[in-house]
Amino acid sequence: AARGRGTVRPRGREGAEAAEGGDFGSIERHSLWLSTWLRGFVCSFEREGDILGCRSIRRSIRGKMETYVLKNSKGVEVHIRPLGALVQRLILPSAKGEPSDVVLGFDRLESYADGTSPYFGVVVGRVANRIEGGKFKIGGEEFQVSVNENGNTLHGGQVGFDKATWGVVSHEEGRSVTLSHLSEDGDQGFPGQVTVTVRYTLTEPSDSDDGMLVVAMSAITTKATPISLAQHGYFNLTGHASGSDVLNHKLHLNAREYTPVDGKLIPTGELAPTEGTPFHFPAQGVRVGERIAEVPGGFDHNFVLDKSVRREYDRVATSTPLHLAAVLEEETSGRKVELSTSAPGVQFYSGNFLDGSLTKAQGTKEDATYKVHGGLCLETQGFPNAVNQSNFPTNVLQPGERYSHYMVYKFDTTTRTA
C-alpha cells in the first residue's frame, strides 16, 4: 500500500531514506543542527547582547509566536502564523450562525516543525506533491534533491517551505497579511535562489456569500528551477473537533480528466477521463463516501481542471484568469466552500493516512483526535512530477519570469442557496 503523507513521524522515514542512500550531506546537516542548537542554548541565557547572532534568533522565535487574525463582519476568522505560512484556524459560521474551526491542526507549534504534522494548513514547496526519485533534468543538467517518501520527493523534500519561518512583509489589521521566504540556491538540492511570497486577504461578505479568502502566491528565481506551491489545508466542515469524518461531505470537482498513479502515487503520464469512473464528481456533487471504496487506499489524485468554467469576483483582482476547482458542502452544518484557482490541477486527498495517532498528546487543537478520513485536502497545484513529464504543463520557472498562483475560497451556507 502507498504510504507517506500520513506517516506522522517522518523522522523515522527520513532515517530510512538515509540508510538507503537517498540522503546526502548528512554529516554537514547534523553539524548544522548541533551548531544551531548550541546557539539557541547560549541565547536562552544571553538577553541583551548579540553573541553568536542572538538578536536574529530571538526575532525568529518571536516571529514564530505571532498570530495574525483576519476577520470580517459575518464572523469568518482566519488565523495565520509565520511558521510555514500556516493557516492554523479557519472559523466559519454554520447555517444557524454557530461558529466552528473547520481545519485540522495543532495548538503546539513544535508539531508543525518537528515532522509530526502531515502538512496541516501550511504552504508547501518548492514543489508541491511528488517528484519521482527526487531527480530531474533542466537544460541537460541532472539534479538530485532530497527524498522523504518512498524514495521520492514530497512537498519540497526533507526541509520544505512548510518548516521555514516566513518573514512578515505587511499586515493590514483584520484584513490581510503578506509573508515571504528566501530559499537559497542549493536548498534541498534545488537550483537557484528563490524568493516566494504569499498574501492572505479576507473580504467582507456580500449578498451572495459570507466572504472570500484570497491566497496569492508568487515566486522569482535566479536560475531555472521547478516551482509549484500549494496551500495544504485539511477541511472538515462539521468542525475539526467534531469527531465526524468527511465521508458525508458532498464534493464537486471541475474536471473531465485526472492523472492515474502507480503504487508510489507517481502519475503514469496518462490523462484519463473521469466520466464513468469513481473519479467523476459532477456539478450536483457526490458524497465522498459513495466512491471511496472503489479507489484502493482512498483518493490521493490530481485532477485536470476544466479552465472553460471561469470565475470572476468583483472584490478580487488577479493577474491571471480564475476557473472553478471544487465545491465542498456539508449538509448538517450548512457550510459550503467554493474553491477557484489559476492553477491547472487540484489534488484531492481524502485523509487516508490519518489513523487516530494525532491526539492531544501531540498538541492538537481542542484536544481533538484525528481519525481516518477526519479531513480532506483540495490542493490546487501544478501537476505532480511535471518536471519529468513532457506532456504535463511545465512547472519550470526561468529567471526573469514570475510564478503566480491564486486560490479563492468563497464561503457560504446552504440557507442562502436553498
Catalytic residue among 155, 232, 252, 405: 232
- Number of helical (H) and strand (E) elements in the chain, helices listed first: 6, 28
Angle between helices 54-65 and 26-45 (to 10 degrees): 90
In angstroms, the CA 288 to CA 352 distance is 12
N residues, the chain: 418
Classify residue 283 by burial, with Cβ atoms within 10 Å: 0-12, 13-18, 19+.
Answer: exposed
Cell of 237: 466542515
335, amino acid identity: R
Is the Cβ–Cβ distance between 24 and 146 less than 8 Å? yes
The contacts of residue 341 (CB under 8 Å, 6+ apart) are 305, 322, 323, 325, 380, 405, 406, 407, 408
How many Cβ atoms are within 10 Å of 84's Cβ, its own excluded? 28
Tell me which of 77, 149, 338, 379 is the catalytic residue. Answer: 379
HSE toward the beta carbon, residue 106, CA cutoff 13 A: 22
> In angstroms, rounded to a whole number, what is the distance separating the alpha carbons of residues 202 and 409?
9
Is 373 one of the catalytic residues? no
Distance, CA of 317 to CA of 309 (rounded, Å): 18
Told to judge if 379 belongs to the known catalytic residues of this protein, a careful annotator would answer yes
Please give the positions annotated as active site.
Answer: 232, 379
